[in-house]
């Protein structure tokens, strides 16, 4: 089963239920080489489900001293596609190795943020 790292709104119970129909079991983990920035969300569905128009977004730095704490979820392939539908075009899903050594999908900035 795929592993998905979340550092933002996918950690919210209401967002999980709206997108996956269930609450996900979380395991804490840390992603190195990234910092968290912000992105303005304009998608009405995403704003309604998260309750926020400003969302966190991962920005790659490549510095191992930069770390982002979050949660790892074990999900199905179908749920991964649902997560893709939830994340707006500002994000891209890529694979990353967590501090624990687990390989996870992450949603990071699709374009460099200025």
| Stated pTM of the model | 0.91
User: What pLDDT score does 111 carry?
Assistant: 85
User: What pLDDT score does 113 carry?
Assistant: 64
CATH class label, 3-109: alpha beta
pLDDT band at residue 112 under the 50/70/90 scheme: confident
Q: Closest Cα partner for 69 from 34, 40, 39?
A: 34
Task: Say if residues 39 and 87 touch (Cβ distance below 8 Å).
Answer: no
Domain residue spans in the chain? 3-109
Q: How many residues does the chain have?
A: 114
Q: Which spans in the chain are helix H?
A: 13-20, 44-50, 77-86
Q: What is the pLDDT of residues 61-109, one digit of tens each?
A: 999 999 999 999 999 999 999 999 999 999 999 999 999 999 999 999 9
């Amino acid at each position: 089963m795929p592993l998905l790292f979340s550092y933002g709104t996918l950690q919210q119970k209401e967002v999980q239920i709206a997108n996956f129909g269930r609450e996900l079991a979380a395991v804490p983990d840390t992603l190195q080489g990234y910092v968290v920035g912000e992105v303005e969300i304009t998608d009405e569905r995403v704003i309604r489900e998260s309750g926020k128009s400003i969302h966190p977004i991962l920005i790659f730095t490549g510095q191992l001293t930069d770390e982002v704490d979050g949660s790892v979820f074990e999900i199905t392939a179908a749920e991964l596609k649902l997560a893709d539908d939830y994340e707006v075009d500002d994000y891209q899903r890529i694979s990353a190795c967590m501090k624990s050594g687990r390989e996870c999908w992450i949603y990071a900035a699709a374009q460099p943020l200025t």
